[in-house]
Structure 1
Amino acid sequence: MIDIGKYNELRFIKKTNAGLILTDGEKEVVLPYQHAPQDIELGDNLHVFVYIHSDGRLMATTETPLAMVDEFAFLEVVDTNEQGAFLDMGIGKDVFVPEREQKRPMKIGQKYVVFLYTDERNERITASSRLTDFIDQDSHDLEEGDEVSLLIFDESDLGYSAIINQQYAGLLYHNEVFEDLQPGDVRRGFVKKIREENKIDLSLQVIGFRHILDLKDSLMIELQENGGIINLGDKSSPEDIYNQLKISKKAFKKAIGSLYKERLVVVSDDSVKLVIKPADETAG
């Protein structure tokens, strides 16, 4: 069975004026010559993306789409009409967003986070910016501390809403984010807390003791690469710390506190310095 809006393994069975004919054994798909490998031979299998052309034919391409069916993606509007908007998929085939599926009216040249699906009536690839209709809100398999992939899709007074692992939604709080995030930004994140009704709090920093271990190693490397000194200390602003190290001030202070207890660094209001041990001590 051919999956429309996804990759398929199809066999090359013949040539026509329109292009190569590929099949899964039941249905035939046209691959235009400009997208066909030059060394293709009859009987070869091809890994192709399949979609429905405006004339109703099944079409294939070896180009890489910006998104596939059952995925969230950040796509640009290239055209609009009374029925809806058309988003660039990166393959010469635009995806349609019906007016009813637009959370806000879409404008040409703007980019939006959308979910791609196949319309049950005609099997065409369709998109929606009404994301909550496609987010799994009833259950999840996440645990606190898990590393996840985040796609930022909205901002509120509390913080930034993000799609987690292409399935769930969570929140990054403003007071724990030290960069200007925008819809469409992709970040590595971590599950900070799972609250009632499966609401998920997120962080851009590693959670727990492993976080401090990772930061200690990173800070030691930073010190060694900068002549044994970092021009950040107890009185440095959270913004300065994040701009240089991409971590929060709280995490920075925990990590340098741990290094200080091990007598590896000395800390002042505006700097952290490596402790230079005597040669006989380091040799032992």
Structure 2
Amino acid sequence: MNFDIKLGLLNTLKINEQSEYGLYLSSSNGEEVLLPNIYTTKSMKIGHEIDVFIYLDSEDRIVATTLSPKLKLNEFGFLKIVDSTEFGFFLDWGLPKDIYMPLRFAKDHFRVGNEVFVYITLNKSEDKIIAVNKYERFLNSEINLRKNQKVSSFVTKKTELGYACIVNNLYNGILYGDEVHQRLELGSTVESYVKKIRTDNKLDLSINPIGNTKFDVNSQKILEILKQNNENMPYNYKSDAEDIKDNFFMSKKTFKKSLTLLNDKKLISIDENGIRICK
């Protein structure tokens, strides 16, 4: 299909005609798609433009909906398996018709109820939107990033080394466990920095900017000392310099900078009574 109306994405279309089945919407090139009555409202008037999601209904007809799916075309995320057959799995993506994941695109023998990390793509041979768990070929093979660049990392898996991530929706990366001082939930997105671009086209990531090694070490030291003291201690920006040196083995200036970093990352909270690790 080579349509101006884009399957699997949000489209801005004009209300062109009303019928007994719903509203016919048209693109700038005159292509039409039906918005069924169940999604229409009295405020929708002929000539108005509306944003709709385009997908295939249970009879594989192209239709529009005002509902938003959990994932759109070319996006990564977790979806729950709600049914299975000998040929594949059906996943809930927030629309009346579940999205299909062919067995050949699944890495494991999943079961109904499993939350599976998938990529949404278009099966061009059948012109259908599908989910795939074998997503590596959809990642960029060449990395167009630089060291210490800020990136958005989507957490996909807990590993022995730390957390596997999809970076900027384009690359494979890993956040090492010894640099992460908080539990990261699968499916969460964290701000991170490129620590190293590896020869296998994967990224080593850091929660903190690279280059302030002493600063990072001191922040980690504060967290470790807090953990050894029931995760809270009676010190803050106003504490005596000697008390800080005796308890945290650093200057007051370094202590204050580290507190600011940890607070900005929401790893600790600070008030007049002291500091504590955020849950």
> TM-score if structure 2 supplies the norm length?
0.75
Distance 2:135 2:75 in 1: 11
1:159-198 correspondence runs (5 A): 159-198=162-201
SS of residue paired to 2:225: coil
Q: Shift of the alpha carbon at 1:37? A: 3.7
Distance 2:70 2:126 in 1: 22
Q: Shift of the alpha carbon at 1:240? A: 5.9
C-alpha distance after superposition, 1:187-240 (max 9, x if no partner): 222211223243310122233349959x99xx9xxxxxxxxxxxx959716x56
- Residue 156 of structure 2 corresponds to 153
- Residue 25 of structure 2 corresponds to 22
Q: CA RMSD in A?
A: 3.4
Q: Shift of the alpha carbon at 1:128? A: 0.5
Q: 1:204 to 1:93 in 2, by over 3 A?
A: farther
Distance 1:139 1:47 in 2: 34
Q: Is the 8 A contact 2:245 2:252 kept in 1?
A: no
Q: Shift of the alpha carbon at 1:131? A: 2.0
Q: 1:161 to 1:16 in 2, by over 3 A?
A: same
Gaps of 5+ in 1: 220-231, 245-255, 276-284
SS of residue paired to 1:162: strand
- Residue 104 of structure 2 corresponds to 100
- Residue 267 of structure 1 corresponds to 245
Distance 1:235 1:175 in 2: 11
| Aligned residue type for 2:112 | I
Whether 2:110 is the aligned partner of 1:143: answer: no
- Residue 236 of structure 1 corresponds to 225
Q: Shift of the alpha carbon at 1:159? A: 2.4
| Aligned residue type for 1:269 | N
Q: Shift of the alpha carbon at 1:92? A: 2.3
SS of residue paired to 2:247: coil
Q: Shift of the alpha carbon at 1:264? A: 10
Distance 1:272 1:18 in 2: 72
| Aligned residue type for 2:34 | V
Distance 1:127 1:234 in 2: 40
Gaps of 5+ in 2: 254-279
Distance 2:165 2:208 in 1: 15
C-alpha distance after superposition, 1:84-141 (max 9, x if no partner): 11111113231110011111122222211100001112221101011212111x2122
Q: Is the 8 A contact 2:58 2:97 kept in 1?
A: no
% identical aligned pairs: 29
